[in-house]
Amino acid sequence: MLESLIVSLLALPLIGAMVVFLIPSSSLQTLKQVAFGTSLFTFFLSLFLWILFDHSTSKFQFVQSFPWIYSSNIEISFGIDGISLFLILLTTFLIPLCILTSWESVKQHVKEYMICFLVLEALLIAVFSVLDLVLFYVFFEAVLIPMFLLIGVWGSRERKIYAAYMLFLYTLFGSLLMLIAILMIYFQTGTTDIQILMTTTFTDERQKLLWLAFFASFAVKIPMVPFHIWLPEAHVEAPTAGSVLLAGILLKLGGYGFLRFSLPLFPDASTYFTPLIFTMSVIAILYTSLTTLRQTDLKRIIAYSSVAHMNFVTIGIFSGNLQGIEGSLLLMLSHGIVSSALFLCIGVVYDRHKTRMLKYYSGLAQMMPLFGVIFLLFTMANISLPGTSSFVGEFLVLLGAFQSNTSVAFFATTGIILGAAYSLWLYNRVAFGNLKVQFIHEFSDVNRREFAVFVPFVFLTLLMGVYPEIFLDPMHVSVAHLLQQQQ
């Protein structure tokens, strides 16, 4: 029973997608209700993962395997540990909210939209729980198909096609390099099972090569700076719920990949390339924070700030100590919540005014007080104000970075100042000042459905900021084990 938990988590959205597929596309309400119901049920089911999770072991839990290809050693097996637990929870948490957000804003092809989200949910759960390198690659790539369609079909503007291509080709190119690396690993070890691979070692030369190939894939996803170009494009053109998923989960795929593969499989190469990662991350933090300051598109601002935050994550991952890695995991979670919520906020104003240009907005706090409060809260969380979720993560990351490299910590800390600069500047421009009635006339505050969407985010942001131990506790053993492997 326990073993089949992950498989049922995977199967549930797929069954839901099948049911949605069979419902006629004219009955919109039923479609939405079925999709929302399935994803909500999946979320509740996934909570059992957390409840039943054994905190005292670094082994993979809820493991279940099926034979796949007869002649090879590749098995379909699923299992989670402290690293992947919360990423799965984050996925199942965000999907119902995404569906709820697009309740009214999506008007065309509702059925296909819902199918896309449910399939995406199953794929993402699979990515975080699969224990085989080849299958990890399969699901990692498969996410592209629904994402491509989401941006292309339901995106808002002409540029969406360009954005969809960017997303697809950047990711594809990176991950095909990873595929060659996976094949090389298979030929050396004869297996792609992660649990067995953790016990094998590669020669120094080969480690470096393989590490770089994996890096090509994860650096695009997370994104490190020269490979981040796809991200602002994809974010800006995606529909609100698409951005939420992109920021909330897809960016975490890269971080998860580093933690799951790069660190334990190639420990020496990881140490060797740590300066590279640190340099790239610091550049990314400074560069994207400064870039954020001169953006005019609301979503682009949040997208660039996502890049900055994710590069804190990479610093944490490669800091080589417990605080750094746990901080980066927590920061991934917190960013998944905060930045998703910010994208939702922008979705709210976009739904009302159909523009995302900063210059048309001003003084919204006067007419939309509730929105003003919510937006303020998440802006503060984005600055990582103490008491909110991001603070804990960022603090731990900086702590970890300080232990391993002081100058990196110094430069990363300036990122916090810059983060405060662009966040406050953004909030100032949107919420305060005089109303620009010549551009925007109709104001209606956050409605009940939107408020219901925001409540869980607010709750989690504060919970994680005030009492992070419930999130950190399941991670301890797994992260400690990871570090042990690295030494």
Partner 1 sequence: MMSLFVNDFKYVLPEIFCLTAVLVLLVYGVIYSTSSQHGYPILSRNVVWLAVLSLFFTVLLILNQSYLEASIFHNTLIIDFFSQFAKLVILLSAIASLLLSLDYLRSQKINSFEYAILIVLSTLGMLLMVSSYDLISMYLALEFQSLCLYVLAALKRHSEFSTEAGLKYFILGAFSSGILLFGASLVYGFTGMTNLEDLGKLFAGLGYDHSIQSGAVLIGMLLVAVGLLFKVYAVPFHVWVPDVYEGSPTIVTAFFAMTPSLSVLAFFIRFFFSAFYDFLDYWQQMLLFCSIASLIVASLAALSQKKIKRLLAYSAIGHAGYMLIGFASGTPDGIQAMLLYSVVYIMMTLGMFAFILATREQFKGQQIKYISDLNILFKTNPILAFSVALILFSLAGIPPLAGFLSKLYIFFSAVKVSLYFVVVIGVVTSVIGTVYYLRLIQIMYFEKVKAYVTYQQMDRTKSLLLGISCFFILFFMAYPSPLIILTHKAALTLCL
- Separation of alpha carbons 353 and 485, rounded Å: 53
Among 12, 100, 124, 149, the residue binding partner 1 under the rule CB under 8 A is 149
455 binds partner 1 (CB under 8 A): no
19 binds partner 1 (CB under 8 A): no
**Residue of 308, 317, 337 lying closest to 416 (CA atoms):** 308
Q: What one-letter code names the amino acid at 186? A: Y
Element containing residue 61 per DSSP (H, E): strand 61-67
Among 69, 357, 437, 455, the residue binding partner 1 under the rule CB under 8 A is 69
233 binds partner 1 (CB under 8 A): no
Element containing residue 338 per DSSP (H, E): helix 322-353
Q: What one-letter code names the amino acid at 431? A: A
Count of residues engaged in binding partner 1, rule: CB under 8 A:
35
184 binds partner 1 (CB under 8 A): yes
322 binds partner 1 (CB under 8 A): no
Q: Are strands 61-67 and 75-80 parallel, antiparallel or unpaired?
A: antiparallel
Distances (CA, A) of 255 to 84, 302, 329: 11, 19, 8
- Separation of alpha carbons 12 and 312, rounded Å: 34
- Separation of alpha carbons 90 and 255, rounded Å: 14
Element containing residue 62 per DSSP (H, E): strand 61-67
165 binds partner 1 (CB under 8 A): yes
Q: Report the b/e string of 419-440 with b at 16+ CB within 10 A.
A: bbebbeebbebbbeeebeeeeb
Of residues 95-114, those binding partner 1 (CB under 8 A): 109, 112
What binding mask, one character per residue, do residues 265-304 give for partner 1 by CB under 8 A, x or -? ----------------------------------------
Whole-number minimum distance, CB 189 to partner 1, in Å?
A: 13
Nearer to partner 1, 223 or 400 (CB): 223
Span near partner 1 by CB under 8 A; candidates 159-167, 329-337, 351-359, 463-471:
159-167
Outline where 222-297 has alpha helix (H): 230-237, 240-245, 251-257, 263-265, 267-293
Specify whether the CB–CB gap between 240 and 347 falls below 8 A.
yes
Half-sphere exposure in the Cβ direction for 24 (13 Å, CA): 2
180 binds partner 1 (CB under 8 A): yes
Among 52, 172, 229, 276, the residue binding partner 1 under the rule CB under 8 A is 172
Whole-number minimum distance, CB 7 to partner 1, in Å?
A: 13
Whole-number minimum distance, CB 184 to partner 1, in Å?
A: 6
160 binds partner 1 (CB under 8 A): yes
Nearer to partner 1, 180 or 417 (CB): 180
Nearer to partner 1, 66 or 438 (CB): 66
Among 78, 86, 139, 350, the residue binding partner 1 under the rule CB under 8 A is 139
Whole-number minimum distance, CB 204 to partner 1, in Å?
A: 19
Span near partner 1 by CB under 8 A; candidates 63-71, 252-260, 388-396, 445-453:
63-71
Span near partner 1 by CB under 8 A; candidates 179-187, 274-282, 345-353, 390-398:
179-187
463 binds partner 1 (CB under 8 A): no
Among 7, 145, 293, 435, the residue binding partner 1 under the rule CB under 8 A is 145
Of residues 392-421, those binding partner 1 (CB under 8 A): none
Structure tokens at 89: 């929870």
Whole-number minimum distance, CB 232 to partner 1, in Å?
A: 19
Nearer to partner 1, 68 or 360 (CB): 68
Outline where 222-262 has alpha helix (H): 230-237, 240-245, 251-257
**Residue of 425, 472, 414 lying closest to 281 (CA atoms):** 414
- Separation of alpha carbons 35 and 117, rounded Å: 9
Structure tokens at 256: 């998860």
138 binds partner 1 (CB under 8 A): yes
Among 177, 293, 373, 477, the residue binding partner 1 under the rule CB under 8 A is 177
Structure tokens at 112: 């296909």
- Separation of alpha carbons 163 and 450, rounded Å: 27
Residues 6+ apart with CB under 8 A from 156: 237, 239, 350
Among 2, 18, 52, 169, the residue binding partner 1 under the rule CB under 8 A is 169
432 binds partner 1 (CB under 8 A): no
Whole-number minimum distance, CB 190 to partner 1, in Å?
A: 12
- Separation of alpha carbons 409 and 282, rounded Å: 9
Among 29, 70, 199, 205, the residue binding partner 1 under the rule CB under 8 A is 70
Structure tokens at 83: 């690293």
Span near partner 1 by CB under 8 A; candidates 172-180, 293-301, 397-405, 460-468:
172-180
**Residue of 357, 313, 314, 321 lying closest to 339 (CA atoms):** 313
350 binds partner 1 (CB under 8 A): no
Q: What one-letter code names the amino acid at 178? A: M
Among 148, 256, 402, 422, the residue binding partner 1 under the rule CB under 8 A is 148
Please state, as a whole number, how many other Cβ atoms lie within 10 Å of the Cβ of residue 406: 10
Binding site for partner 1 (CB under 8 A): 25, 68-71, 109, 112, 134, 137-139, 141-142, 144-145, 148-149, 152-153, 160-161, 164-165, 168-169, 172-173, 176-177, 179-180, 183-184, 186-187
